[in-house]
Amino acid sequence: MNYNIIAFSGSLRKESYTTKLVKAFQQFAPQQMTVNYVEIGHLPFINQDLEANLPAAVLDLHETIAKADGVIFATPEYNRSYSPVLKNAIDWGSRPEGENKWKRKPVAIVGCTPYNLGAFGAQNHLRQSMMYLDMVPLQQPEFYLGKAAEKFDAAGKLTDETSIKKIIELWEAFAPLIAMHAEKK
């Protein structure tokens, strides 16, 4: 059995640490977990007027979510919350009203920052939204990567052994959660 995991980065920055973190989750995924990175920078800004005739980018996002067995949200921290880019994608996935595409999807929340706290504030807010959207958040282990500038090499690869070990530990908990929910479908 192979599982389709969709992964989102909350940063559009070319040299984003958050996007590099997503690639590290891709690199260290167990064999049966295929991680597909989903671009979100081209989505229109959330606007209920668009719901009568949903833009193609939003319909594509809906289809991508519907096919997923699991989700990874990687977020930077913006003023102690998660980024508007990521929120925009999450909001579109929850619309129109009554058609929440995220419902019952297993989700892992991760984040990073060049500073110390590993995007704790961002992840905390994000977790609250996951609850409201009736997702199935992985509760432990949590994943905080601080001092990001020291942890990736010039090519963007994660080189910090402790962080790599934590990614592997997260997968060891997340993969069974994904498999269990896929069986119930």
Interface with ligand FMN, residue 114, by CB under 6 A: yes
Q: What secondary structure letter does DSSP report for 55?
A: -
Residue 81 Cα to chain centre, angstroms: 15
Residues of span 37-96 touching ligand FMN by CB under 6 A: 76-80
CB of 139 to ligand FMN, least distance (A): 23
CB of 112 to ligand FMN, least distance (A): 7
Cβ distance to ligand FMN smaller for residue 119 or 178 = 119
Residues of span 6-35 touching ligand FMN by CB under 6 A: 11, 13, 16-18
CB of 140 to ligand FMN, least distance (A): 22
Q: Where are the beta strands (DSSP E) in the chain?
A: 3-9, 33-37, 70-75, 106-112, 136-137, 144-145
Strands 136-137 and 106-112: parallel
CA-CA distances (angstroms) from residue 149 to 27, 56, 81, 114?
19, 36, 20, 6
CB of 153 to ligand FMN, least distance (A): 15
Binding site for ligand FMN (CB under 6 A): 11, 13, 16-18, 76-80, 113-115
